[in-house]
Amino acid sequence: MSLPSHIRSLWLRCRDLLYRIPNPPRDILVTAVLLCGAYCASSILISHTGGENNSALVFVLAVTIISSLTTGYFYGILASIVGTFCINIYFMEPYATFTLNRTGYPVAMLSMVAISCVVCALTTRVKQQAAEAIRREKNTKTLYEINQKLNEEKAAIQLESARETIRGNILRAVSHDLRTPLTAISGAASVLLGSPEISEKNLSMLQDIKSDADALIIMVENLLSVTRIQDGSMPLKKREEMLEEVAGDAILTTRRRFPGVHVELELSEDILYLPMEPLLVKQVMVNLLENAIRHSGDREHITLHLFRQDDWAVVEVRDRGKGLSPEICQAVQSGKPLNRDLSGDATRGMGIGLSVCQSIIKAHNGFFAADNNPEGGAVFRFGLPMEEKSDE
């Protein structure tokens, strides 16, 4: 049978007030109040029943309540001892005197203390088990919430991975479909440019067509490279190569594409012989040189510098153009792709080229950086390990 709502509400309010008191004062207060209550109840009983009273049961009940409301064993055992002496002195003949002379008194006292201690121990153990059950319930709830969050994160990662896979497949399909017609357009423009019957106006248009087609072909190749490297479908086939030879091929390719641009090659005294995928490293150099030509505004002071720094073979592409904005430097350092607003030329795909460079160098376990030259212009720098390093 449940208590009336007003009594239950009063009990909960009193319990909350009680538990706001710190532990030692609260336990002492609870013990003192309940022992006084047991004494008062036993006094009332003995006044009505005379020598026949149930004071021992009253004090055992008080000890049980004290054990359930206090912390540990101490207060319950103390209450049982105090209660035993109170019964002997105030509620057993001769009253107001402590004595063990009457037959059965010692056994009764020891039994009282033993029973009270057992009740105290059982009550305390029940409290500890309840607290342990609450703690386990909280731990279980916490683990369940953590597991739910992990499952949500796992699902989000799987969804993002699926999106990346679909995006990569679409990019590869579109790139393959675009490469053939673009190559045909570039070839047809080259043939027409060799014809002597082309007017000056048409010649300029054909040159623009060929330039744009070549730029789109490079962009398509970059897209193919970055998607293959990112999804792991294009494993690196490293072999020992001289970085100077790869740089020479990159400059020849750049000069064929931009005949009127001067690119200088600076070499150090060290011979840079290291494991790499030469075609991909060449693509990185070509992309950086092309970005310098197209976006710096400088076509006379572009330099490709090779040198050794500790255990790294370092390649720098310098120009004396307008330099890089802080947003571009920050995007390159963080490895994020450049958007159209930051690229400075929305029609040439500077961001795609740099993303390809970053992906290729990362696949080689190297580093990639960009900064402004104190003397003016931009500096793109990447480093390759001189010896093969295993992936962490």
DSSP code of residue 175: H
Say which residue, 392 or 168, is predicted with more confidence.
168
d(CA 294, CA 258): 10
Q: Is the pLDDT of residue 311 over 80?
A: yes
**Crossing angle for the helix pair 350-363 and 278-295, nearest 10 degrees?**
150
How many C-beta atoms surround the C-beta of residue 29 within 10 A?
Answer: 14
- Identify residue 290 by its one-letter amino acid code: E
Q: Is the pLDDT of residue 261 over 70?
A: yes
Quick: pLDDT tens for 165-181: 776 677 666 666 676 77
DSSP code of residue 370: E
Quick: pLDDT tens for 291-306: 888 888 777 889 999 9
Where is 348: in which H helix or E strand? Answer: none
* Best CA proximity match to 86, nearest among 94, 98, 103: 98
Give yes or no for a contact between 331 and 337, defined as CB atoms under 8 angstroms apart. yes
Confidence of residue 335 (pLDDT cuts 50, 70, 90): low
pLDDT score recorded for residue 244: 92
DSSP string, 64-121: HHHHHHSSSSHHHHHHHHHHHHHHHHHSSSSTTS----STTHHHHHHHHHHHHHHHHH
Q: What angle do CA 147, 152, 156 make, to 5 degrees?
A: 145
Phi-psi label, residue 321: left if phi above 0, alpha if psi -120 to 50, beta otherwise = beta
Which domains are assigned to the chain? Answer: 5-147 (no CATH), 239-385 (3.30.565.10)
> What is the 3-class SS of 233-290, one letter each residue?
CCCCCCEEEEHHHHHHHHHHHHHHHCCCCCEEEEECCCCCEEEECHHHHHHHHHHHHH
Give yes or no for a contact between 208 and 337, defined as CB atoms under 8 angstroms apart. no
Whole-prediction pTM:
0.49
